Amino acid sequence: MIVTEIVPSQIVPFPADDSRRNDGSEIVFNGRVRSTEQGEPILALEYEHYEGMAETELNRLAEKTVSKFSIHDLFCRHRVGQIGVGEISLHVVIWSKHRKEGLDAMTWFIAELKKHIPIWKWALLTSGERVPSECVHSEH
């Protein structure tokens, strides 16, 4: 099963599922807003998206991830709008038989999401300035 959502309000995490008998791994990722962006203190991040296209492409990426890796299900919620420091901006759950394929799928899915899904983020600096936010860390 695949569930992908882009939501404008606080993310409610998907519940753990104790009924799964064939999945030995349930990997949960919560991406949170840090208090700094490129060394500058921030008040929040603001996420914008290409409405309609972002939802379609996120679902397509989830489908590709499930077929590429030996995983059973992938649930993803991505928040848009202004998100305060410490709050969740991305919540992903992947179920798989073993942890390795789940961890590999999670790493790949998030990297591809950041590269290809039409969602953009801006840092709201404490000075009041709004600047583009970019991922500058290594993927590995």
**Per-residue pLDDT for 8 more than 90?**
yes
What is the pLDDT confidence band of residue 138, given thresholds at 50, 70 and 90? very low
Which DSSP helix (H) or strand (E) runs through 26? strand 25-32
Q: Quick one: pLDDT at residue 135?
A: 63
- pLDDT tens sequence across 86-95: 999 999 999 9
Q: Are 130 and 123 in contact (CB under 8 A)?
A: yes
Q: Are 65 and 72 in contact (CB under 8 A)?
A: no
> Is the whole-model pTM more than 0.85?
yes
In whole angstroms, what is the distance from residue 92 CA to residue 27 CA? 8
* Closest C-alpha among 108, 112, 128, 100 to residue 42: 128
Residue range 2-8+23-132 in CATH 3.90.1170.40: yes
Contacts of residue 85, Cβ cutoff 8 Å, sequence gap at least 6: 33, 34, 35, 42, 43, 44
For 57, what's the count of Cα atoms within 13 Å in the CB-facing half-sphere? 15
Q: Quick one: pLDDT at residue 20?
A: 84
Determine what percent of the chain is predicted with pLDDT higher than 70: 96
Query: How far, in Å, are 13, 103, 113 from residue 92 at the CA level?
Result: 9, 12, 11
- pLDDT tens sequence across 10-36: 999 998 888 888 888 999 999 999 999
Q: Quick one: pLDDT at residue 17?
A: 83
